[in-house]
Amino acid sequence: MEQDPKPKWEGKVSERLPKATADQIWPLLNDFFNLHKWFPSLATCYGIHGTNGEPGCIRHCEGSSIPSTDTNTDGHSQPVSWSSERLTVVDHVERSLSYEIVDSNIGFKSYVSTVKVVPQGDDGQDGCVIEWSFNVDPVAGLVLDELVRKYKVGLQQMAERLEDAVKGLRKVDFLFLFYMFAAALDYFYSL
């Protein structure tokens, strides 16, 4: 008699970004090969196959939020946690992407995740919400609630970084416009 397989773990976290619109955040999250710029516990993330942002491309991520299942060989250093992740779906209209882990040393099997940026307000100008959901086979050594907590903390930190980046871009845009206005005035008065 066959045993029932363990049910998959499902989790979803979300974070509101009141100072950034979905149109500002989506291009940053859609940069699939550069998640480490925004996700604090990733030391690195880079493309290993395909074109960034196109379904089928694969990225390599290394970080520390989920412990490696590798054993230490020297007894001193922690092994680096890594995963190879394939982008499976991109929807620019809905501002969502889905990816799957194709290989890792963190114990994930049959892992699929979706990240979506949802505009807020009637005109989409009242900030946005990032939703991050996952579906994975149970992971030895982890508890679902703890995994969801790791995602929540990571998403909160990522949201702060994303808003800071957008705020920095607004500052650069303002300074650029100010410089262009000053240059135009200078030109006008030199005539």
How confident is the model over 145-184, as pLDDT tens digits?
999 999 999 999 999 999 999 987 654 444 444 455 555 5
The pTM assigned to this predicted structure is: 0.80
Query: What local confidence, expressed as pLDDT, does residue 30 receive?
Result: 95
The mean pLDDT value of the chain amounts to 85
At position 66, the amino acid (one-letter code) is: I
Query: What local confidence, expressed as pLDDT, does residue 116 receive?
Result: 98
Long-range CB contacts for residues 49-57, cutoff 8 Å, separation at least 24: 50/87, 53/87, 53/90, 54/87, 54/90, 55/87, 55/88, 55/89, 55/90, 56/86, 56/87, 56/88, 57/32, 57/33, 57/86, 57/87
Let me know: does 137 contact 8? Beta carbons within 8 Å: yes
How confident is the model over 68-106, as pLDDT tens digits?
555 555 555 556 889 999 999 999 999 999 999 999 998
